[in-house]
Amino acid sequence: MLPESVLNRAAAEMLDYAGSGQSVMEMSHRSKVYDEIIVGAQQLLREVMNIPDNYKVLFVQGGASLQFAAVPLNLMATNCADYSVTGQFSGKAHKEAQKYGLANCIASSKDQNFTTIPHVKAADLTPGADYLHICHNNTIFGSKFAELPETGNVPLVADISSSFLSEPMDVSKFGVLYGGAQKNVAPAGLTIVIVREDLLGKARACTPEVMNWKLMAENDSMLNTPPCWSIYMCKLVLEWIIQLGGLTVMQQRNEYKAKLLYDYLDKSAMFSNPVQPKFRSLMNVTFVAKSDELNDMFVKDAAAAGFVNLKGHRSVGGMRASIYNAMPVEGLEQLVAFMADFERKYA
């Protein structure tokens, strides 16, 4: 979801942005009017996430999936890196990195069907590893890191696609943060990379230029055409977050929303959530009913009642409520009421 006020504003500015006589969709990315948008978006992101000055913010294309390759290409200088595999996307990142060097899986919760997150201590890291990669929020399995791994001097690299802007994060604890914007930040097309300056300049010679973080940083994300419209939408979403009170307020809102659903799941006799409570995601709540038949019936009945996209990812089944920032509290209240009705009906 995107906030309705943001969509209304985009609609109002669609044909004529700020008296420019153009839609943002039509602008040259090198024009003065567009420059204010991209510079503004970066400034607001820095303000909202409290990004320290020694980090670069890059607006790139290709999705988080392209960064699965960009991370090793830019950082795997000694040919060795560590991966924590806690769900589908961290598994994909790990697999991609194996093309470029020794990518060690040093922690995994696969044998527990990703219902938990193993803790990583500095002593668990491979000596000489160039970085440790994690996925901060596991979109498909509905789990999230409760505490960050301890990596000592080894840079921590995190895919934050599905927890971007959902809560405050101490950026200084990371070497690199990256994520696709389409879950919480903007429409599809934009990927954001936040990288500590001292990690730039290690890219392999074969790295495609548009994947080279240093080149992208030197060119203010304008080495080639950036995803202009999506960056504009990102700026509007950031303005909405600031208006609400910033990431601390966003986190409180998200905790309140998620609790409504988890509390119901924990007392339900029909539905349950498989994730260890400490590691439950604020953004993606997975749940199952007591049988596959009930799961199918629930997804069908829910869709008929207007609750769409509740089917779990095709790889895991069951249900998943993705309750990103823009989902209003009423959305959760109505879902819980609908689930309670369903439970009474089919108990």
Ligand X SMILES: *Cc1c(COP(=O)(O)O)cnc(C)c1O
Residues that bind ligand X (CB under 6 A): 63-65, 89, 135, 139, 159, 161-162, 180, 183
Distances (CA, A) of 270 to 63, 113, 264, 292, 298: 37, 21, 10, 12, 11
CA contacts within 13 A on the Cβ side of 319: 31
Q: What's the min distance (Å) between Cβ of 69 and ligand X?
A: 11
- 283 or 289, CB closer to ligand X? 283
CB proximity list for 158: less than 8 A, separation 6 or greater: 133, 134, 135, 136, 174, 176, 177, 178
The DSSP result for 90-119, as a single string, is: HHHHHHHHTTTSEEEEEEE-GGGTT-S---
Per-residue H/E/C for 251-294: HHHHHHHHHHHHHHHHHCCCCECCCCHHHECCCEEEEECCCHHH
- 40 or 63, CB closer to ligand X? 63
Residue in the block written with tokens 């509007």:
236
- 179 or 270, CB closer to ligand X? 179
CA contacts within 13 A on the Cβ side of 46: 15
- 96 or 239, CB closer to ligand X? 96
Residue in the block written with tokens 């420019």:
20
The separation between CA 334 and the C-alpha centre of its own chain, rounded to angstroms, equals 25
Q: What's the min distance (Å) between Cβ of 283 and ligand X?
A: 9
- 179 or 318, CB closer to ligand X? 179
Give helix 4-13 / helix 228-244 axis angle, nearest 10°: 130
Burial annotation 318-331 (CB, 10 A radius, 16+ → b, else e): bbbbbbbbbbeeeb
d(CA 167, CA 324): 11
Q: What's the min distance (Å) between Cβ of 60 and ligand X?
A: 11
Q: What's the min distance (Å) between Cβ of 289 and ligand X?
A: 24
- 142 or 180, CB closer to ligand X? 180
Q: What's the min distance (Å) between Cβ of 183 and ligand X?
A: 6
Q: Are the beta carbons of 180 and 61 closer than 8 angstroms?
A: no
Q: What's the min distance (Å) between Cβ of 67 and ligand X?
A: 8
- 162 or 254, CB closer to ligand X? 162
Q: What's the min distance (Å) between Cβ of 15 and ligand X?
A: 29
Q: What stretch of H or E contains 248? A: helix 247-267
Q: What's the min distance (Å) between Cβ of 230 and ligand X?
A: 11
- 40 or 62, CB closer to ligand X? 62
Residue in the block written with tokens 């820095």:
46
Q: What's the min distance (Å) between Cβ of 58 and ligand X?
A: 15
d(CA 13, CA 15): 6
- 94 or 183, CB closer to ligand X? 183
